[in-house]
Amino acid sequence: MTATTTTGADLALETRRRRSIAVISHPDAGKSTLTEALALHARAITEAGAVHGKQGRDGVVSDWLEMEQKRGISITSAALQFEVDDLVINLLDTPGHADFSEDTYRVLTAVDAAVMLLDSAKGLEPQTLKLFEVCRRRGIPVITFVNKWDRPGRTALELCDELEQRIQLRPTPVTWPVGEAGNFRGLLDPVTEEVTLYRRAPGGAALAEEEHLGADAARSALPELVEEAVDSVGLLDAVDRESFLAGTTTPLLFGAALANIGVRQLLDVVGTLAPAPDDRPGLDGAPRPVDAPFSGFVFKMQAGMDTKHRDHVAFVRVCSGEFQRGMVVTHGQTRRPFATKYALSVFGRSRDTIETAYPGDVVGLVNATNLAVGDSLYDGGGPPVVFPPMPVFAPEHFVAARAADPGRSKQFRKGIAQLEQEGVVQVLVSEARGDGSPILAAVGPLQFEVATFRMEHEFNAPIRVDQLSYSIARLATPEDVQALAGRAGVEIARRADGVTLALLESVWRLRALQRDNPELSLEPLPAGTE
């Protein structure tokens, strides 16, 4: 590769052009559908369904796992990059199911803004609330898109009240629906009072036809509905970018992603209000300027994207400087050199070789077997940096795994090690069981299904899992380990990072142990939200 030199002005320009966003919501709110619609409006695809491999628009079908196709849920996040106008959008679609929260939370470390998707009939749901709290703690500004307005649902003002009362986020409308949920006639621009009417394309595979009416024409065409919309939206504050970036307000939009309605306005808001990449703090708290030499961190590992080659890809968020394919960078955790010969730009399941990338971009490094989720990379010619580690969740479900065929123990160990490296499950080893029967720990039981499926189909090492009765994991000091020796209903296990955990059957067992042994520490694990 012939290296090119990027000036400071060029780097600043490329950085200002970037927007890195995640789409978050409760399951079935329409995240993958909205992702398709955004790419369609940006002309990155010609027909909805091209990203997620859908045969139609009625269900969410996975990119690359057969079990996702059978269940109709998203199990892994998807990364897309596309250009719209003069902007480069890095869009990360996340799994909504609570069992895969860790993947979603890691994605949120790699973005600068989020689109919170609400179902018009359901409003704020439990998983949405959890994800919003993560955004708040991380200082990620949130844009709200109320989806499925073409179906019966709640009133717009009721949803606004819920946002303000339950999460103290003041909605500032960018668009407002003309017609109640289920009787959706168009979208009002609160500033100009112009109205856009829509005619959806068959199946929602193409852009909806739009008809733009000026304020007077709109009042003539739909006098009562437009008057009601104008009166309602007048009760709310106007959009203010400063308060949005401060996390006290949320730009609010309405639409129907399945019909590609209201999505163009969402793209406009991302371009005008969402922040460009900025300085990122390292583990020591010192900010790494975006114009410093290259640095980035691995927020996701994904295997099996290319069924013809058993590769696995490290997804790296570029934090500073210019990435050039082929450059030799330094691995922050080991200080060892790392070559970047095979670097990709990822669009769903499709991949193309990438030559350069800038802050905010996502680079896929192929066959990066020496990397793990949370690892940092930087240009060795600049100052070293290690970014904060990924959040690790307190697991609530545990199984003991073993190779179904003892003759495939080598493949079994290799597969378990890779699943741990990717963060699919946490792997614990206890002295009682040994590493031949590791304990798999997870936030939700569906993670075990993913692990079991991948062990059989990717590593040709089918496994058997035995459900364990534990439901709590606590940090255990050496003194705790000694005090708990021989106790019933407790097992001591260690993670690969050296952390020692006490696994307990229930909170009642924990309380009983602490009552009988006041000296026990048994501190809770961090909740994963930093």
134 sits in which H/E element: helix 126-138
* Contact predicate 64/307, CB 8 Å: yes
Say how far apart CA 343 and CA 364 lie, in whole Å: 6
Per-residue DSSP letter, 408: G
Q: Give, in order, the Cα–Cα distances in Å from 221 to each of 79, 213, 214, 256, 479.
A: 42, 9, 10, 22, 76
> What SS3 state is found at 418?
helix
Token pair of 405, please?
């065929």
Beta-strand runs (E) in 36-141: 78-84, 87-93, 113-119
Give the pair of three-digit tokens for residue 414.
């290799």
From residue 154, how far is each of 143, 171, 454 by CA, in Å?
19, 16, 41
Could you tell me the sign of the dihedral formed by the alpha carbons of 102, 251, 265, 176, in that order? positive
* Pairing verdict, β 142-147 and 249-254: parallel
Residue 341 φ then ψ, to 5°? -60, -40
Q: Is 486 annotated as a binding residue?
A: no
How many other CB atoms are there within 10 angstroms of residue 161's CB atom?
14
Which residues are within 8 A (CB) of 367 and not within 5 positions of it... i.e. 6 or more apart? 311, 312, 342
94 is in an annotated binding site: yes
The Cα 189–Cα 213 span in angstroms is 11
The beta strands (E) that lie in 451-526 are given as 463-467, 472-475, 490-495, 500-504, 523-524
Would you call 75 helix, strand, or coil by DSSP? coil
Residues with Cβ within 8 Å of 149's Cβ and at least 6 positions away in sequence, in order, are 120, 177, 181, 184, 254, 255, 256, 261, 262
CA dihedral of residues 441, 447, 452, 456 (deg, nearest 10): -120
Q: Is 95 annotated as a binding residue?
A: yes
Segments of 271-410 assigned E as strands: 280-281, 287-288, 295-303, 312-320, 323-324, 328-331, 337-339, 343-347, 350-353, 356-357, 362-366, 376-378, 397-403
Q: Is 97 a known ligand-binding residue?
A: yes
**423 marked among binding-site residues:** no
**136: its two tokens:** 């708040």
Instruction: Fill in the amino acid letter for 474.
Output: R
Which residues in 25-141 belong to E strands, given as ranges?
78-84, 87-93, 113-119
SS3 218: helix
Which residues define the annotated binding site for GTP?
A: 93-97
Which residues define the annotated binding site?
A: 93-97
